[in-house]
């Protein structure tokens, strides 16, 4: 009798597991929402568009941090990176470690504890190991059972991540060759219109065209992933999320709190997801955590800051928040709050330039082209402002009439009331969420991570440049700049 009961119980659990949907996160790097369903007309993206038509598209999704390791640390915990001490890029990599608070559990572990198979791989899945994690805290590699769901036991649902190189392909030396081989042709730079804060020089047009080609390649890959799910007969048993880890890597994108840096595509398709729906409310990328858990019938931990955006009693966010702190060797401290109509940015180090020295960004083709355009006197006053030696302490933009976020209204008395309100929202959030960035990064932490970074830089011969940048950061700190 006992064996019969155990057998029945095992069958019952197996049946319940089969009823639970698979959860798949497709995450592309360095990419803004340049897809047809988001209004992009210079290229076609049929696979992302189809995903959106069959599911729900979030028109106003933003990351809480416009840098990969910070964004990913927040996403995988469903927590603001500033609340868990993961707000500095590539931190905790040296002798000084960062550990999560005891009450914070990474999402893959929660899925494992609920009986899910967890995996994290690249596409088309050639890698043998776990794909990009980039978490700024100590974590157990056992969070992931494998890099693919193919090896899971029969009937076991999976929580999977597929990492796409996305916008990073654009910066490779062979980018044009790769895109031509994969896509058949390149996007014509002469057909493109650039944002007004970038000069439309041939070099920058060419770079923008590669940016769009990266989106086309991601779209193709999403079509391939869909074909695999269909071929395995599990497409309609799988909730597919498509996002990017932050916006395009450019002078106002990656690393910065304007929409170009924080706004991302967010499309969800699968069982239980409304089809053909467009959501205009503000959501944060960390909301994938609670939403995915809810779809799988897993309780959200009490302290998790993520929200289930499909919950029947879901209250739309009145405001969303983002933060930028140290990026590699470059020290910075920015915070922002965004509502449906306004964007407020606080620059806590206003005496530093917007384009601070940063080895990673300074060697990008777009940065080189931008500096060349400046040297040739081709910049408008707006474009020249990117190179201003200092920044305003506060920025306020009316995003209804100024979608490019270029007219700073913070000093205009006519908007004093809005400024006060937005400043108060941000200060309240920083206090309420225990923002650990309110204090400078300890020098021991900085030195520990820079030792690792300098060790890696020996391979590309850039160590002297990085050492000079580190010395500059320390000098500016002493000067109170």
In angstroms, rounded to a whole number, what is the distance separating the alpha carbons of residues 243 and 33?
A: 9
Residues 338-349: tens digit of each pLDDT: 999 999 999 999
The residues pairing with 128 across neighbouring beta strands, listed in sequence order, are: none
Q: Return the pLDDT at 461.
A: 79
Domain map (residue ranges) of the chain: 19-317, 334-479
- Report whether pLDDT(11) > 80: no
CB 86 within 8 A of CB 74: yes
Reported confidence tier of residue 126, pLDDT bands at 50, 70, 90: low
Residues 213-265: tens digit of each pLDDT: 999 999 999 999 999 999 999 999 999 999 999 999 999 999 999 999 999 99
DSSP string for 118-160: EEEEESS---SS------SS---GGG-SBSSSTTSPTT--EEE
In angstroms, rounded to a whole number, what is the distance separating the alpha carbons of residues 77 and 100?
A: 9
Reported confidence tier of residue 2, pLDDT bands at 50, 70, 90: very low
Taking the CA atoms of the chain, what radius of gyration do you get in angstroms?
A: 23
- The residue whose two tokens read 């790769």 is 178
Q: Return the pLDDT at 173.
A: 87
If one counts every other C-beta atom within 10 angstroms of the C-beta of residue 43, the result is 19
Q: Return the pLDDT at 266.
A: 98
Helix runs in 403-462, H state only? 416-432, 443-457
Q: Which two tokens stand for residue 389?
A: 């030696």
What CATH number should be reported for the domain whose range is 19-317? 3.40.720.10
- What is this structure's pTM? 0.95
- Report whether pLDDT(4) > 80: no
Reported confidence tier of residue 19, pLDDT bands at 50, 70, 90: confident
* Overall average pLDDT of the 391-414 stretch: 98
């Amino acid at each position: 009798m006992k064996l019969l009961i155990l057998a029945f119980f095992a069958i019952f659990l197996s049946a319940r597991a089969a009823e639970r949907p698979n959860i798949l996160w497709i995450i592309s790097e360095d990419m803004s929402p340049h897809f047809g369903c988001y209004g992009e007309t210079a290229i076609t993206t049929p696979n992302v568009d189809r995903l959106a038509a069959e599911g729900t598209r979030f028109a106003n999704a933003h990351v809480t941090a416009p840098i990969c390791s910070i964004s990913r640390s927040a996403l995988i915990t469903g927590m603001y990176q500033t609340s868990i001490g993961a707000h500095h890029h590539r931190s905790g990599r040296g002798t000084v470690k960062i550990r999560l608070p005891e009450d914070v559990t990474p999402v893959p572990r929660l899925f494992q504890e609920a009986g899910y198979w967890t995996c994290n791989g690249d596409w088309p899945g050639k890698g043998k190991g776990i794909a990009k994690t980039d978490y700024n805290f100590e974590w157990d590699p056992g969070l992931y059972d494998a890099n693919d769901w193919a090896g899971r036991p029969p009937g076991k649902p999976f929580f999977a991540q597929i990492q796409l190189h996305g916008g990073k392909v654009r910066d490779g030396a062979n980018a044009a060759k790769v895109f031509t081989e994969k896509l058949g042709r390149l996007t014509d730079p002469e057909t493109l219109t650039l944002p007004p804060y970038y000069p439309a020089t041939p070099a920058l047009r060419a770079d923008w065209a590669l940016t769009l080609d990266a989106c086309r390649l991601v779209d193709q890959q999403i079509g391939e992933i869909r074909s695999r799910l269909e071929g395995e007969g599990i497409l309609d048993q799988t909730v597919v999320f498509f996002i990017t880890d932050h916006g395009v890597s450019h002078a106002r994108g990656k690393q910065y709190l304007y929409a170009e840096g924080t706004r991302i595509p967010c499309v969800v398709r699968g069982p239980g997801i409304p089809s053909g729906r467009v959501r205009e409310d503000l959501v944060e990328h960390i909301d994938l955590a609670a939403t995915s858990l809810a779809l799988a019938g897993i309780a959200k931990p009490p302290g998790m800051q993520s929200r289930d955006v499909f919950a029947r009693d879901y209250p739309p966010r009145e405001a969303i928040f983002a933060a930028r702190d140290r990026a590699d060797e470059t020290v910075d401290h920015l915070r922002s709050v965004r509502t449906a109509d306004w964007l407020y940015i606080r620059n806590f180090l206003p005496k530093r330039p917007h384009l601070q020295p940063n080895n990673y960004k300074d060697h990008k083709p777009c940065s080189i082209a931008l500096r060349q355009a400046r040297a040739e006197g081709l910049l408008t006053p707006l474009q020249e402002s990117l190179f201003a030696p200092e920044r305003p302490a506060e920025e306020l933009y009316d995003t209804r009439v100024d979608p490019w976020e270029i007219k700073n209204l913070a000093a205009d008395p006519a908007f004093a009331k809005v400024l006060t309100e937005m400043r108060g929202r941000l200060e309240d959030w920083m206090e309420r969420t225990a923002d650990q960035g309110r204090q400078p990064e300890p020098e021991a932490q900085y030195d520990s991570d820079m030792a690792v970074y300098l060790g890696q830089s020996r391979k590309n011969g850039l160590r002297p440049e990085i050492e000079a940048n580190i010395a500059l950061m320390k000098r500016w700190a002493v000067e109170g700049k």
